[in-house]
């Protein structure tokens, strides 16, 4: 962790703010000596109303610079995984529950529309695919449901 030459005073002592003239100002303290800097350096606690914050620019220049870092390219999954997961619906607890509540055509329509798949991660698990506007497979969320109640099981052993 980087150690700065100056820090805000950690005590509860407050000073008069140079901007709003309220006794809500926290001064900057030199780390090594514990001495306060000049009266204009510090921060007002009235962040919403006053917003006064002054630092010695030479010391904090790098701290306040924002550098743009391009996001990493996302990892993608092969679309064949989506196709392969579209099998074994008799082994899928969520689909079995849906079949007990809705007609076969309604279930088929939902499975097709939302690309609901069967996962091998747990016995009876369902996978919900996240596919972007360019039809790239970004992620698959594997979840386990109780086939009788349709409620999610957070653990594979059936306990909440």
Nearest residue to 5 (alpha-carbon basis) of 47, 68, 60, 78: 60
pTM for this predicted structure: 0.53
Mean pLDDT, the chain, rounded, equals: 84
Kindly state the helix (H) or strand (E) to which residue 1 belongs, with its residue range: none
In a domain, 72, yes or no: no
92 and 134 assigned to the same domain: yes
Residue ranges making up the domain that contains 18 = 6-64
48 and 87 assigned to the same domain: no
44 and 107 assigned to the same domain: no
Residue range 85-135, pLDDT digits in tens: 988 888 999 999 999 999 999 999 999 998 999 998 889 999 999 988 888
Q: How far apart are CA 141 and CA 129, in angstroms?
A: 6
More confident residue, 94 or 69: 94
Domain count, the chain: 2
């Amino acid at each position: 962790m980087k150690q700065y030459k100056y820090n805000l005073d950690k005590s509860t002592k407050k000073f008069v703010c140079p901007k709003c003239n309220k006794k809500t100002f926290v001064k900057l303290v030199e780390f090594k000596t514990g001495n306060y800097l000049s009266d204009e350096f510090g921060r007002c606690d009235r962040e919403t109303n006053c917003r006064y914050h002054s630092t010695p620019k030479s010391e904090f220049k790098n701290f306040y610079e924002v550098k743009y870092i391009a996001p990493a390219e996302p990892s993608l999954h092969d679309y064949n995984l989506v196709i392969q997961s579209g099998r074994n619906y008799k082994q899928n607890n969520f689909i079995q529950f849906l079949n007990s509540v809705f007609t076969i055509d309604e279930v088929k329509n939902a499975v097709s529309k939302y690309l609901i798949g069967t996962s091998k991660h747990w016995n009876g698990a369902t996978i919900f695919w996240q596919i972007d506007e360019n039809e790239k497979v970004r992620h698959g969320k594997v979840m386990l449901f109780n086939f009788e109640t349709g409620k999610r099981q957070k653990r594979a052993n059936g306990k909440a």
